[in-house]
Chains A and B, each alone.
Chain A
Amino acid sequence: MAARAVKVMVSLPEDLLRRIDRRAEERRTSRSAFLQEAARRELGWPDPEAIEAALKRGRSALAGAGSFESADLIRAEREARDAGDRRR
């Protein structure tokens, strides 16, 4: 469930606000949505230890997965989905 959005009042330099609005307009998104994403990006930068632990978990899960090239696997998936989309 999405968290409730609350209104906040923040102070920003005018030139920074102009840059934010310009970029938000280019992306056809709102100022609020742009700032939310920027904050998530900053806060969401995980700490190196958490990344290391995640890499270890993921690598351990695929330790016995055998030999394959990811680019081939992903390409095959994209083409299969694309072909499916065209048939619809």
Chain B
Amino acid sequence: MPAIDVVSDANVALKWFHAEGEQEVAEARALVDAHQARTVALSVLDLTFYEVGNALLRGRAGASAEQVATVLEALGAVCPAVQPSPEERRLAAELAERHDLTLYDATYAAVAESREATLATLDNELLEAGLGTRPSELAVRVAKAEGRGGR
């Protein structure tokens, strides 16, 4: 059975390491379980490392450089990071314009669309634009693919 290709948004990837105050932690982590079982082929973008690092360092988390470095090293060990191709950058610009998104948001959507993958996200702007799927919805699809039915 071929794996389900999933591009993870930074907001889902961060939940693999942080749980307090987070929604859909179990579902986000179920994607990593499925990746370990090779039912899902997870990837993040090269951009994800900067977004996760910045959010931890400069956001409310107030994480130290040491904490951030550890999380980024761990993130790199969980799944491969994809670098968008020139064509994907072009598509990202088109999606950003069409849906009034930042280019950061649109790059995730463009890479997922171009690679026939599903974008796992909890970002309202991407979800409302119909460009991403919540981890909870994806978990149902993965469970079906694994022959476990819906959750």
Q: Could you list which residues of chain A lie within 8 angstroms of chain B, going by C-beta atoms?
A: 26-29, 37, 40-41, 44-46, 48, 50-55, 57-62, 65-71, 73-79, 81-82
Contact = CB atoms under 8 A, between A and B. Distances in A.
Given A27-B114, A68-B22, 5 more contacts: A65-B62, A68-B20, A74-B52, A78-B102, A81-B102
Chain A interface mostly: helix
Interface in B115-131: 121-125
A76 B59 contact: yes
Contacts of B58: 77
Contacts of B123: 71, 74-75
Given A46-B78, A48-B36, A67 B70 contact: no
Given A27-B114, A78-B51, A78-B102, A62 B17 contact: yes
Nearest to B68: A61
